[in-house]
Structure 1
């Protein structure tokens, strides 16, 4: 946790040192999330809300660290006489994406994300840290207002089991990693 905080401070310090090339903003939007690796999982609709800094590092290349509250999870079909249920996982996500302006209006982005679980409603034992990788694109209507689409590919299991505890036993259905996968549709405003 200390490394995360120090990294965030370093990014912000870099941004303030280059204040003429840094813009800050807010963003929010719709999440369509699933738990990958489970055949019974369906999409769950949630939201995300937070802020970001857009730091120009070279010509059309920017680094964009963000701090987002994100409601994620999945809907699960009933089986063996059980009822359908939702897994609701709420994270503070810290993505850091490299953003490239192909034109003044159109951007593409990619980069890692660290998620810290803040609350959950689930019958499972969730891990408190989640790691993912983002791929996305955006369109700038004006210098201040833009929209974006981003897909987050989960790289670590969302649950405390998966490849650890149950691998000592021969339970084939626990061999998958259950990852957070999120399609986000957002709007952003830069100051």
Structure 2
């Protein structure tokens, strides 16, 4: 009996999937990214960037789809901080943390109507490059490339999407990072090595997109 029910369910799911063709396309848009977390220093604020990539919606029923996306995304944060000098004075340093990723969200999408949907699911990112830009010369340069940034990032993404004029897509999504942006740091102290735990700083990003569905 259980086998009959299972076979019937699989046959129904296959039939529904065959009747509803997958949708795919591309999208691009604005990123408004920053850092979150209890250890985020004061003076960090949102930074603008962009994202671009493609997506595939695979329908499990007329109301549910599993959405896979792959895109390039500029993330990071602006900052403004006070820096002490060797003569007991301070100066204000401003700049940007620029972390660029290839990102892969897998979202479970609910379609209450044919045009509107709400999606939620995990997202991972692979760091392509990172750079910090300063408004002043620090160590003979206005940029640096920190080595303590994590190569992988993971978190949760929520998204709302709307199809208009049959082929055009508008969406707004928010990413909540759940892995630390920075690695643990080795600090050398009196012929010993002290491992300093990475601060609780996470990526966050608001993405606003427009796209085309084939």
| TM-score computed with the length of structure 1 as normaliser | 0.81
Whether the 8 Å CA contact 1:78–1:85 is kept in 2: the answer is no
Distance in 2 of aligned mates of 1:30 and 1:165: 38
Runs of at least 5 residues in structure 2 that lack an aligned partner in the other structure: 1-16, 84-90, 133-143, 186-193
2:25 is paired with a residue of what secondary structure? strand
Distance in 1 of aligned mates of 2:179 and 2:195: 15
2:75 is paired with a residue of what secondary structure? strand
After superposition, the C-alpha distances for 1:74-132 in whole angstroms (9 at most, x for unaligned) are 00112122410110000000001111112222210001001000011035420000001
Question: What number of residue pairs does the alignment pair up?
Answer: 168
The structure where strand makes up a greater share of residues is 2
Distance in 1 of aligned mates of 2:20 and 2:179: 37
**Closer, same or farther: CA 151–165 of 1 in aligned 2, 3 Å:** farther
- 1:32 is displaced (CA, Å) by 0.1
Distance in 1 of aligned mates of 2:126 and 2:19: 28
> Counterparts in 2 of 1:27-176, with a 5 A limit?
27-37=27-37, 38=40, 39-80=42-83, 81-122=91-132, 124=146, 125-161=148-184, 165-167=195-197, 176=199
- 1:149 is displaced (CA, Å) by 0.3
**Closer, same or farther: CA 21–35 of 1 in aligned 2, 3 Å:** same
The structure where helix makes up a greater share of residues is 1
Whether the 8 Å CA contact 2:20–2:62 is kept in 1: the answer is no
Q: State which structure, 1 or 2, has the greater radius of gyration over its C-alpha atoms.
A: 2
Runs of 4+ more than 4 Å apart: 17-20
Distance in 1 of aligned mates of 2:99 and 2:203: 9
2:99 is paired with a residue of what secondary structure? strand
Distance in 2 of aligned mates of 1:27 and 1:19: 25
| TM-score computed with the length of structure 2 as normaliser | 0.73
Q: CA RMSD in A?
A: 2.2
- 1:54 is displaced (CA, Å) by 0.9
Distance in 2 of aligned mates of 1:18 and 1:180: 38
Q: Which moved more, 1:137-146 or 1:111-120?
A: 137-146
Q: Does 1:180 align with 2:203?
A: yes
In structure 1, what is the equivalent of residue 86 of structure 2?
A: none
